[in-house]
Structure 1
Amino acid sequence: MPYINCNGINHYYEIQGEGEVIVFIHGMALDHRMWQEQVAYFSKNYCCLSYDMRGFGKSVPLDDQAYSLAEDLEQMLSLLGMEKVHVVGLSKGGNVATYYVVQFPERVQSLTLVDAHVNGHPIHEGYEHFKKALRKASLEGGDRAAKEVWSASEIFTPVMLHPSAGPRFRTMLEEFDPVFWRESSKEKSSGKLAYQCLQEINCPCLVIVGEKDIIHFRQVAESLAATLKNVRYEVMNGVGHMANMEDGKTFNRLFEGFLNGENFKI
């Protein structure tokens, strides 16, 4: 299995295909496998890098040191000799992608944010309530209780009910070590919050959100579309938070059109 040491932590990664590089960044409680449909499709014409961030999937668990997920990605790309990349991130992965683009703009050809979380954006009260319930369950009931709160959230109802994506989603959640819910984050701040940096981003951007995602993420997507300079905004009908897993065919068509410079909506 391919591993690479980035800032002292062994990261699991997979590379498929040749050509311009697309980096796929997974969301919270997930791992590189959430992008398998995209990697299978885009690796025909692109070099696809999917990986597990530190503390997720097959990557080494977190240690006590402060860290930056964006800096981890930068070292990975440097070690792999990848100079220019298209960056794609979902939910927490969208936040990492945003920080990466701001810190290393010369590396990035395009940015795609999917049902993204962006630090600094006002949090809707419903999502804030969910986060507090998750933290309480983790501290008082342990990992199993926390995972039950997570999977029962309306955020994930559409994917949990999906006949093919649901089992894959549950497998990733079952194998996830929820240290992020038990302990305070040691993730380093880059100075400004991601939401405060949006106008510094000059590369072409694609913002995608599921029509059935919760209000918080739909509001974030609308703010991104209104603030980013060079942006296309797409709402995917009939899907929720895990847009790429719930309707991979439509997601792939939208993303491919963006990469090809096409101007259309579905």
Structure 2
Amino acid sequence: MPYIDATGVKLYFEEAGKGYPIVFLHELCSDGREWDTQVRYFSRAYRCITFNARGYAPSDVPNDPSLYGWELAVDDIAAVMRSLAVEHAYLVGLSMGGYAALQFGLRYPERARAIVAAGVGAGSAPSQRSAWSREASILARAFIERGMDAMARKVAHGQTRIQLKYKDTRSWQEFQERLRRHPPLGMSNTMARCQALRPSLHDLADQFSTMRTPVLLALGDEDAPCLETNLMLKTVLPNAGLWICPNTGHAINLEEPTAFNAQLDSFLAAVERGSWRRGYPEIKAESNLRLETTFDTRAKAVIR
């Protein structure tokens, strides 16, 4: 099996295709295989790279909790790119992977040519922070105490996962089976050290406002824990676009693979043409405010 050494931890990786590199980053409850449909499509024109995060076999599953964390997840992306002689790449991440991609964009802006952050932001909204910390700690213990069979069933039947069951039962079953086979220690440490302790994306708004990297935010409209944060990101990221897919939950690339691939394809093509941009520079924000004020004044006059 092919491995990369990332600060003493071996990371399992796969790659397919030739061309400009795309690095795919998986979510908490899956691994690199969740991107199979995207790799099959995009490897026709791109060099597609997937890897399993630390704690996800056949990557190493360290016993030491200090060898997990969101900072290390960002460093691992850099280690994979360095080992594979990738100077810069497109980053495509879902949930936990999308969070790491955005943090990578802040830390290594010259190495991320464009970022797709899908289903990102759970636990980041100010109204969710206290509950997120508490629930993350409970889940970290549950992976060990209840075991992966029970936790896989619980996650797969969650309010942002059940959509996949009724759209594509086979993919839903495969998702559940992959999760069931994950090492409980790796899941527990990732939840406790990477998820529970990561900064809120809302707290990074000022930093995001200076990030010029093209960003596509992708979100299912039934992924309720992520909606507020994605609207915030769309507001503060200067070069971001937001695609909201209807009747879709968290695993947007599994639920709607054709639509997801089409959006990703269109985004990458626009980046390559140099035509991806947010709005038009000659339209100032203050003019929008004046328009809204004028509209509000006229509306009130009509109501009276």
Please indicate the TM-score interval, normalised by the length of the shorter structure. 0.7 to 0.9
What does residue range 28-177 of structure 1 map to in structure 2 within 5 Å?
28-64=28-64, 65-67=66-68, 68-117=72-121, 120-124=124-128, 128=132, 131=136, 134-135=139-140, 137-138=142-143, 140-161=145-166, 162-177=168-183
The residue that corresponds to 1:7 in the other structure is: 7
**2:266 is equivalent to residue 257 of structure 1:** yes
Residues 132 and 100 of structure 1, relative CA distance in 2, 3 Å threshold: same
| Conserved 8 A contact 1:13-1:51 | yes
What whole-Å deviation, never above 9, does each CA across 1:151-194 have from its counterpart, x for those lacking one?
23212111233223212211211111233554474459999755
| Conserved 8 A contact 2:3-2:10 | yes
- Residues in 2 aligned to 1:203 and 1:112: alpha-carbon distance in whole angstroms: 10
What whole-Å deviation, never above 9, does each CA across 1:54-94 have from its counterpart, x for those lacking one?
11142110242445111111011111100110011111111
- Aligned residue type for 2:50: S
- Residues in 1 aligned to 2:9 and 2:259: alpha-carbon distance in whole angstroms: 35
Residues 227 and 180 of structure 1, relative CA distance in 2, 3 Å threshold: farther
Residues 200 and 175 of structure 1, relative CA distance in 2, 3 Å threshold: farther
Residues 216 and 246 of structure 1, relative CA distance in 2, 3 Å threshold: same
Give the TM-score normalised by structure 2. Answer: 0.77
- Aligned residue type for 1:105: P
Give the TM-score normalised by structure 1. Answer: 0.87
- Residues in 2 aligned to 1:251 and 1:93: alpha-carbon distance in whole angstroms: 16
Identity %: 25
Residues 139 and 50 of structure 1, relative CA distance in 2, 3 Å threshold: closer
- Aligned residue type for 2:49: L
- Residues in 2 aligned to 1:125 and 1:118: alpha-carbon distance in whole angstroms: 9
The residue that corresponds to 2:239 in the other structure is: 230
Task: Give 1:134 shift.
Answer: 3.0
- Residues in 2 aligned to 1:126 and 1:149: alpha-carbon distance in whole angstroms: 22
Q: Which is richer in helix?
A: 2
Unaligned runs of 5+ residues in structure 1 are none
Larger radius of gyration: 2
Task: Give 1:150 shift.
Answer: 2.2
- Residues in 1 aligned to 2:104 and 2:258: alpha-carbon distance in whole angstroms: 27
Question: How many residues were matched structurally?
Answer: 262
- Aligned residue type for 1:9: V
Residues 123 and 148 of structure 1, relative CA distance in 2, 3 Å threshold: farther
What whole-Å deviation, never above 9, does each CA across 1:224-251 have from its counterpart, x for those lacking one?
1111110111111222100101110000
- Residues in 2 aligned to 1:131 and 1:75: alpha-carbon distance in whole angstroms: 27
Q: CA RMSD in A?
A: 2.8
- Residues in 2 aligned to 1:258 and 1:252: alpha-carbon distance in whole angstroms: 10
Task: Give 1:201 shift.
Answer: 1.9
- Residues in 1 aligned to 2:267 and 2:82: alpha-carbon distance in whole angstroms: 26
Task: Give 1:41 shift.
Answer: 0.3
Secondary structure of 1:155's aligned partner = coil
Residues 224 and 139 of structure 1, relative CA distance in 2, 3 Å threshold: same
Residues 192 and 250 of structure 1, relative CA distance in 2, 3 Å threshold: closer
- Residues in 1 aligned to 2:135 and 2:158: alpha-carbon distance in whole angstroms: 8
Secondary structure of 2:219's aligned partner = strand
Residues 52 and 86 of structure 1, relative CA distance in 2, 3 Å threshold: same
| Conserved 8 A contact 2:218-2:245 | yes
Unaligned runs of 5+ residues in structure 2 are 277-304
